[in-house]
């Protein structure tokens, strides 16, 4: 539901909560909308769990007084921060419980002091956060809840997991340690019978999941940051490399403004270019990041990474040679 639609429906909810019956025609006239649009918005409210009722005698809608929260003691910045997270950034990642997040935000906003509510409503209409690419996870809420329950109760889960490189599925047992969001998708990290050790598995590749009756003992020394180590993203290859890159002035500041890795060091040259250095575990993941900058970056070190980029660039060129573009 878009923020503008949320704002206008919240106004109606305020009256509905007070016990007053609000008719569709009144909502349509107040908000200068068609009856069809009002019915569509009410349908969305019902889908996220707002328990409004229709009174056949009055022809209006109302909400029980006990549904919303009591007045909240939040200042303007606290309220704005919470609502910004709920309304805007909930779509920035593929978050579970999106409907619950939206409903919680509506409860909070509806009970803010009038001045703070009006300020937040106006301010949020002028903020836009572009959603990042996300891997689609079917039944994300269901899988997430099952894994969270297994983690809290230290229960082993049996997973049917799709392996795209083999184009088939495997079934194995997993003692889940952590849920982690990284690289546009959710992972579960834990000790698996597939690897005989710690592994990370994408939730969108889980086809079936069953919580078993047996428990597992988590390694108390396990640390997610240590597990990821100095990998560029999350896959360690067992060897550290000192990577040195030169970015042209056109993109130098854009690259330098972002902390891509915890070991990052940046030095600007007199011509405006930037020398960016990392110490990473493995080269495969950083290779694809480097290629995304095309001719705007040059690998200075190590030699093996420079050669890797040259070979991949050659393959890209050859894939286009002798081929006509599709009609």
pTM of the shown model: 0.74
For residue 75, what are its two tokens? Answer: 């200042």
Domain with CATH 3.30.70 in the chain: 240-320
CATH class of the 140-228 domain in this structure? mainly beta
DSSP per-residue string spanning 3-25: HHHHHHHHHHHHHHHTT--EEHH
The answer to whether 204 and 185 have CB atoms below 8 angstroms apart is: yes
* DSSP secondary structure letter of residue 184: T
The answer to whether 306 and 242 have CB atoms below 8 angstroms apart is: no
Q: Is the peptide bond before 302 cis (omega within 30 degrees of 0)?
A: yes
- Read off the pLDDT of residues 103-140 as tens digits, 9 standing for 90 and up: 788 888 878 888 998 898 889 888 888 877 777 777 78
The 10 Å Cβ neighbour count of residue 60 is 19
Residue ranges in the chain whose pLDDT is less than 50: none
pLDDT on residue 267: 97
pLDDT on residue 13: 63
CATH of 240-320 given 2.60.40, 3.30.70, 3.90.1690, 3.40.630: 3.30.70
Rounded Cα gap, residues 99 and 109, in angstroms: 15
Domain with CATH 2.30.30 in the chain: 140-228
pLDDT on residue 47: 74
Question: What are the angstrom distances between the C-alpha of 236 and each of 226, 299, 302, 314?
Answer: 11, 21, 17, 26
Provide the greatest CA pair distance for the chain.
Answer: 80
Rounded Cα gap, residues 276 and 246, in angstroms: 6
CATH code for the structural domain at 3-63: 1.10.10.10
- Read off the pLDDT of residues 93-103 as tens digits, 9 standing for 90 and up: 778 888 888 87
Domain with CATH 1.10.10.10 in the chain: 3-63
pLDDT on residue 66: 63
């Amino acid at each position: 539901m878009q923020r503008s639609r949320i704002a206008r429906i919240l106004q109606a909810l305020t009256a509905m909560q007070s016990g007053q019956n609000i008719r569709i025609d009144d909502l349509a006239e107040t908000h200068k909308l068609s009856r069809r649009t009002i019915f569509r918005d009410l349908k969305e409210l019902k889908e996220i769990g707002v328990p409004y009722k229709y009174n056949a005698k009055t022809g209006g809608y109302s909400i029980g007084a006990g549904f919303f929260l009591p007045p909240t003691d939040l200042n303007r910045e606290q309220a704005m921060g919470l609502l910004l997270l709920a309304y805007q950034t909930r779509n920035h990642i593929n978050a579970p419980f999106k409907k619950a997040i939206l409903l919680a935000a509506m409860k909070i906003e509806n009970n803010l002091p009038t001045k703070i509510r009006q300020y937040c409503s106006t301010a949020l209409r002028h903020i836009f956060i572009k959603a990042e690419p996300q891997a689609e996870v079917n039944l994300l809420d269901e899988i997430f809840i099952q894994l969270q329950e297994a983690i809290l109760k230290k229960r082993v889960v049996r997973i049917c997991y799709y392996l795209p490189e083999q184009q088939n599925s495997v079934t194995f047992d997993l003692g889940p340690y952590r849920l982690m969001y990284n690289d546009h998708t959710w992972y579960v990290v834990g000790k698996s019978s597939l690897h005989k050790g710690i592994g990370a598995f994408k939730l969108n590749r889980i086809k079936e999941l069953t919580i078993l009756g047996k428990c597992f003992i988590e390694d108390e020394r396990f640390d997610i940051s240590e597990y990821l180590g100095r990998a560029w993203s999350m896959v360690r290859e067992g060897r550290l490399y000192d990577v040195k890159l030169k970015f042209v002035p056109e993109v130098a500041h854009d690259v330098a403004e972002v902390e891509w890795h915890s070991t990052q060091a940046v030095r600007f040259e007199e011509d405006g270019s930037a020398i960016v250095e990392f110490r990473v575990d493995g080269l495969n993941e950083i290779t694809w990041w480097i290629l995304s900058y095309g001719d705007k970056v040059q690998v200075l070190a190590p030699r093996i990474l420079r050669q890797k980029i040259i070979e991949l660039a050659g393959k890209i060129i050859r894939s286009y040679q002798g081929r006509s573009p599709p009609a």
